[in-house]
Amino acid sequence: MNIKRILASIVTSVMVLGLVGCSPKSKDTSKVTIGFFSNITHAQALLGMNNGQFKRDIGSEYNLSFKQFNAGPDELQALLAGSIDIGYIGPGPALNGYINSKGAIQIIAGASSAGAVLLTSKDSSIKTVKDLSGKKVAIPQFGNTQDLSLRALLKENGLKDKTSGGTVDIVQAENSLIKTLLSQHKIDAALVPEPWGARLEQEAGAKVVLDYKDVWRDGNYSVAVVVVRKEFMAKHPEVVERFLKAHVSLTDYINSNPKEAKKAINDEIKKLTKKPLKGEVLDKAFKRLEVTNYPIKDSIVEMAELSRSIGFIREEPELDDLYSLDMLDKAVNEAGKGKTK
């Protein structure tokens, strides 16, 4: 056979195989990936993974998997890249993602409210927010909900972060590293979600400067919500409906059976982190939050205004399409549960 013909045949075959591999038809549409953190504020995700409810309700015809994140901005990137489909996430990143992607994601449920505290080291002289002037304060990640809450606190107390010409040095650090940084005096304070606040008190002797009700809006603010890629919801509404059915059931179980729910959630935390929480840490963490089905919309509107005032959002946001709660309403009604916040 002519060498040129052989080469042409090989090239043609490779091109055809490449096109087949890139074809949308070859994509495994049965895959569903849920994003979450190993935080108590994502209690439904942890319980649903532990007791298998998501897999049961979504159905065996779908290849369900979970992906863990440390903070919202990283999870948001994964959502917008299409590597996860549904995510438990803070309202700050959810809001920024919705605005910057021009509505590619939507909030489909709430998950928890409050659940964050401002702490300092046991030998610190910091007693009020005003004392943070000239200090270094850690949050899990720039742009996440705790970051926005901290900046709101600074603004209320006439302070600014250094990048805005102020005196407070805001730094980002993984929740698991903040204990070491605080103990070594590499940071002066931290605003963290639960269970990290309770852990810092128990394991590092950290002192609470502001408890969960004092951080923002008397504790009446969403700290975790559920978002979905709009494209995924359009293609797989049945998956989103089944997911929300599980979410509502898990919320009810946590609130109705706190002892059993805490144990299952702690078992899952042990699987994920290799270290279960002590009983007193778990109890204190749950006392600082409310597990709920619905987002607190007013708090998210205020968060949008704050994001714009500090430059995370450049223009006044249009939030009319931020929420898609009809499926949640249906799941709540079918479960016979009234709306909560």
Q: What is the pLDDT of residues 139-170, one digit of tens each?
A: 988 878 889 889 989 989 999 999 989 999 99
Shared-domain flag, residues 60 and 144: no
pLDDT band at 35 (very low <50, low <70, confident <90, very high): very high
Q: Are residues 108 and 225 in the same domain?
A: yes
The whole-number average pLDDT for the span 82-99 is 93
Beta bridge partners of 117: 192
Residue 77 has pLDDT above 70, yes or no: yes
Specify whether 207 is located in the same domain as 241: no
Q: How far apart, in Å, are the Cα atoms of 142 and each of 120, 131, 192, 259?
A: 19, 22, 12, 34
Burial class (CB in 10 A: 0-12, 13-18, 19+), 155: middle
For the chain, the average pLDDT equals 88
Report residue 321's pLDDT band, with 50, 70 and 90 as the boundaries: very high
Query: Is the confidence at residue 3, as pLDDT, over 80?
Result: no
pLDDT for residue 29: 64
Domain boundary residue, one of 162, 189, 219: 219
Per-residue pLDDT tens digits for 228-237: 999 999 999 9
> How, if at all, do strands 136-139 and 169-172 pair?
parallel
pLDDT, average across residues 214-218: 90
- Eight-state DSSP code of residue 80: H
Q: Looking at 48-96, which runs of residues are DSSP E strands?
A: 63-68, 86-89
Q: How many domains does the chain have?
A: 2
Instruction: Report whether 74 contacts 142 (CB < 8 A).
Output: no
The pTM (predicted TM-score) of the whole model is 0.84
State the helix-helix crossing angle for 43-51 and 258-273, rounded to 10 degrees. Answer: 80
Whether residue 330 sits in one domain with residue 228: yes
- Greater pLDDT, 202 or 23: 202
Residue type, 66: F
Q: 83 with 127, same domain?
A: no
Residue after which a domain boundary falls, among 154, 189, 219: 219
Question: What residues pair up with 86 in beta bridges, in sequence order?
Answer: 34, 228
Please tell me the predicted confidence (pLDDT) of residue 339. Answer: 57
The interaxial angle of helices 43-51 and 237-256, nearest 10 deg, is 100
The pLDDT value given to residue 338: 59
Please give the share of the chain, as a percent, with pLDDT higher than 90. 70
Query: Which region among 12-16, 177-181, 212-216 has the lowest average model confidence (pLDDT)?
Result: 12-16
Name the residue range of residue 317's domain. 30-113+221-335
* End residue of a domain, out of 184, 204, 219: 219
pLDDT higher than 90, residue 304 = no
> Is 84:173 a contact under the CB 8 Å cutoff?
no
164-181: b (≥16 Cβ within 10 Å) or e: eebebbbbbbebeebbeb
70 pLDDT more than 80: yes
pLDDT band at 333 (very low <50, low <70, confident <90, very high): very high
CA-wise closest residue to 88 among 321, 288, 293, 326: 293
Q: Give the CATH number, domain containing residue 124.
A: 3.40.190.10
Q: Is the pLDDT of residue 110 over 80?
A: yes
